[in-house]
Amino acid sequence: MMGSMDHPTSTRSSVAATGSESRARPEPPRRRRVARSLRFRLTFWYVSLLALAAGILLIFVNAAAHLAGIPVETRLYPDPVTGFVYSQQVVNGAVASARAQTLERLQFFSILGFLVLIAGGAAVGSVVAGRALRPISELVAVARRVTGRNLKERIALDDADEELRQLGDAFNDMVERLDDAFERQRQFVADASHELRTPLTTLQIALDSVRLDPDANLDDYRHVADDAKAATVRIRRLVEDLLALAEGDGPLPRTRVDLASLADAVAEEMEPLGERRGVQVVSSVRPGTVILGDPMSLRRALTNLVENGIRYNRDGGHVVIEDAGQSAEWVQVAVRDDGIGIPTEEQAKVFDRFYRVDRSRSRAEGGSGLGLAIVAKIAAEHGGRIDLQSQPGVGSRFVLTVPASPARSGRTLAATPGAPSPIG
């Protein structure tokens, strides 16, 4: 059960492709697509604002021209009877005619300039909007090429504006995460297929041995039945572990969990397995240590750690569940054994799925190679982590760190062999 992975010689896995293989949505008519495009809307609003500004300017210019006044002149007229001279203002006809012609030309050229300005503004606005939105078009083109079998596409927006460059970086990060997820899925399916193939092959060989042997007796059938039972137990265990890893990462039910009572229950449950292996299981968690978490998943995590310590121990060895530290934010519980230990170069891999330090021994003892991966998953779901301290020939110590309250669950600590404790 020591985290594991055998490299299969031949694997076949299928991943449902997305993108081009999915049913394409019908495209709207071209006129509707143009009207709904961001480029069209940017150009429309740019031209609308330009027309509004130009229209207001034209109104003020023409109003000022009309208010400039009517050209008049003052003339003096003598009275033939009295001899007095009086003045009279009259309109200068020539000047008035010239002024009217000037206003007409001003209005004509104003309207012509307005139309030219709108047409030119629309062209310039469309070009500018197109250049500004070109990175988005590139992003769309790359997104359409991305499928379940082609996740290596990336978009380069180094010369784009800051906002668009951030959008491109976010897209590339998303595709990178999808690529990693698909790769893990393919590897997981391949490893699971390989792990299931081994007990199925053993079961088939055992059944064929008595089916093809005309001299098989009752003892032979009993021996085959024992082999078949062991194979089915291993398959059931593997399927249960696979289901545990495949469960979603939704919110966990959280209740008050007494770690001392939980550790005592796990030690009592694993005591028969320890006795068969000549290993003593002890719980020494201090009473009164309480956290908020999911008791079922926490119990499974401790059970996997204790079972791991039993399977990789020696005759007369010990597995101890003990306190490892406590603060206002974190609570730590450790599972320590004095078994064979784990080589330093292997410690970073023990939490990987299907990874085994001693593959032949783990298979022979029924381990699925998923136990420590499940522990790491449970720790992450609680916002905590699992750490490993091990020395070959001396033993191993797994430290499970979980938040003391659900408010800390938003901060997840990565599982790291030999990492410093979050508790000072």
Q: What's the average pLDDT block by block, 10 residues per block, for the chain (424 residues)?
A: 40 37 48 60 80 79 64 59 57 63 77 82 80 76 75 72 76 84 77 75 83 84 84 80 69 83 92 91 89 88 91 91 86 92 85 69 58 88 90 92 64 47 50
Q: Please give the Cα distance from 330 to 157 (Å, whole number).
A: 43
Amino acid 319: pLDDT: 95
- In this structure, are strands 280-284 and 318-326 parallel, antiparallel, or unpaired? parallel
Whether the full predicted model's pTM is greater than 0.85, yes or no, is no
Pick from 63, 73, 69: which is nearest to 93 by CA? 73
Whether 352 and 3 have beta carbons less than 8 Å apart is answered as: yes
Tokens standing for residue 293: 């978490």
What stretch(es) of the chain map to CATH 3.30.565.10? Answer: 255-410
Tokens 């003598």 identify what position? 78
Q: Measured in whole angstroms, how far is the alpha carbon of residue 340 from the centre of its chain? A: 38
What pLDDT shows up at residue 94? 61
Residues 6 or more apart in contact with residue 383 via CB below 8 angstroms? 402, 403, 408, 409, 410, 411, 412, 413
Query: For residue 24, what pLDDT is reported?
Result: 44
In CATH terms, is domain 255-410 a member of 3.20.20.70? no
78's tokens: 């003598």
Residues 6+ apart with CB under 8 A from 122: 43, 47
pLDDT at 128: 79
Q: Residue with structure tokens 């085959």?
A: 224
- Determine the pLDDT at residue 407: 45
Please, what's the b/e burial string for 257-284 (b: 16 or more CB within 10 A of its CB; e: otherwise)?
bbbbebbbbbbeebbeebeebebbbebe
